[in-house]
């Protein structure tokens, strides 16, 4: 059985894309999985994928921008499986694409509410449960947008920069208590979020793929591998870091 046998992993935004791939990967390595998100049907589809493969999983409908939802999410995880060892705080949205001066307060609140407040609240309630069992590992979803700027996406970029700051500070607070906290920074990955940005096919999609020196966009499973590595014993001396998985995008 896998390296996470007997452990419990929580994946927010596990209804599709990178979150779904990560939940399946954790289960493949023996962990029991709690998947959360706002879309119940898609969340249950992820659970079904895991169960068909012989794993154990539960879906909890959650809006990570709401504290009561996040508190209940963590409480239900521990009630169901008895503990919490790993968390991948993946839930996020890109928001509206427009110049900064055209951005609305509503879009600001939506993007930062999920991408930043959601990560803050998730760690706020995950960390105390991990402390009860001697530690754990948390991975927060940032982006290459947490490392660079991009026109038309100022709020998304700001939110992903903020995730890196939250990650570093929380990691320092808990470095001696057995909880490692890191982030992943993907470039463009073949998900529905990218589909919304450049379409499912066509010149815009080809141009985006061509921006990566490796010659293509990434796959959700490639980010899942990075997440599992950061949670594994192989990363036992890594905390407060951002792992960039971008096909060379930021090396240019």
What's the CATH code of the domain at 85? 3.40.50.720
Instruction: Name the token pair of 30.
Output: 């023996």
In a domain, 200, yes or no: no
Q: What share of the chain is helix, strand, coil (3-state, %, to 5)?
A: 50, 15, 35
Residues 183-202 have a mean pLDDT of 81
In a domain, 142, yes or no: yes
Beta-carbon contacts of 154 under 8 Å, excluding residues fewer than 6 positions away, are 99, 100, 103
Lowest mean pLDDT among 94-108, 135-149, 199-213: 199-213
Q: Is 12 left (phi over 0), alpha (psi -120 to 50) or beta?
A: beta
In a domain, 102, yes or no: yes
**% of the chain at pLDDT higher than 90:** 90
pLDDT at 1: 43
Q: Is the pLDDT of residue 78 over 60?
A: yes
Q: Mean pLDDT over all residues of the chain? A: 95
**% of the chain at pLDDT higher than 70:** 97
In a domain, 133, yes or no: yes
Domain that holds residue 78: 8-192+220-245
In a domain, 158, yes or no: yes
Residues 173-194 have a mean pLDDT of 93
In a domain, 251, yes or no: no
- Give the residue from 75, 76, 107 showing the smallest Cα distance to 93: 107
Beta-carbon contacts of 68 under 8 Å, excluding residues fewer than 6 positions away, are none
pLDDT at 53: 87
Residue 57 near residue 19, CB atoms below 8 Å:
no
Residues 117-142 have a mean pLDDT of 98
Q: Give catalytic residue positions.
A: 156
What 199-203 contacts at long range (C-beta under 8 Å, 24+ apart), as own/partner pairs, is none
In a domain, 106, yes or no: yes
In a domain, 205, yes or no: no
Q: Which has more confidence, 195 or 163?
A: 163
Total domains present in the chain: 1
């Amino acid at each position: 059985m896998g390296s996470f046998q007997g452990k419990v992993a929580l994946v927010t935004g596990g209804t599709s894309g990178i979150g779904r791939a990560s939940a399946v990967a954790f289960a493949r390595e023996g962990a029991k999985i709690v998947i959360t998100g706002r879309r119940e049907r898609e969340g249950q589809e992820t659970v079904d994928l895991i169960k068909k493969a012989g794993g154990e999983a539960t879906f909890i409908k959650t809006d990570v921008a709401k504290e009561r939802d996040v508190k209940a999410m963590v409480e239900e995880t521990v009630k169901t499986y008895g503990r919490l060892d790993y968390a991948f705080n993946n839930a996020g949205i890109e928001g509206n694409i427009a110049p900064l001066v055209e951005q609305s307060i509503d879009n600001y609140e939506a993007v930062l509410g999920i991408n930043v407040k959601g990560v803050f609240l998730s760690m706020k309630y995950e960390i105390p449960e991990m402390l009860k069992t001697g530690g754990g590992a948390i991975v927060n979803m940032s982006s290459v947008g947490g490392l660079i700027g991009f026109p038309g996406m100022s709020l998304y970029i700001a939110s992903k920069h903020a995730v890196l700051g939250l990650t570093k500070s929380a990691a320092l607070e808990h470095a001696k208590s057995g909880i490692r906290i890191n982030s992943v920074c993907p470039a463009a990955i073949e998900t529905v979020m990218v589909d919304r940005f450049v379409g499912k096919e066509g010149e815009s999609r080809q141009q985006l793929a061509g921006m990566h020196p490796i010659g293509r966009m990434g796959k959700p499973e490639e980010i899942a591998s990075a997440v599992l590595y950061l949670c594994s014993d192989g990363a036992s001396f890594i905390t407060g870091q951002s792992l960039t998985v971008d096909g060379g995008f930021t090396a240019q």
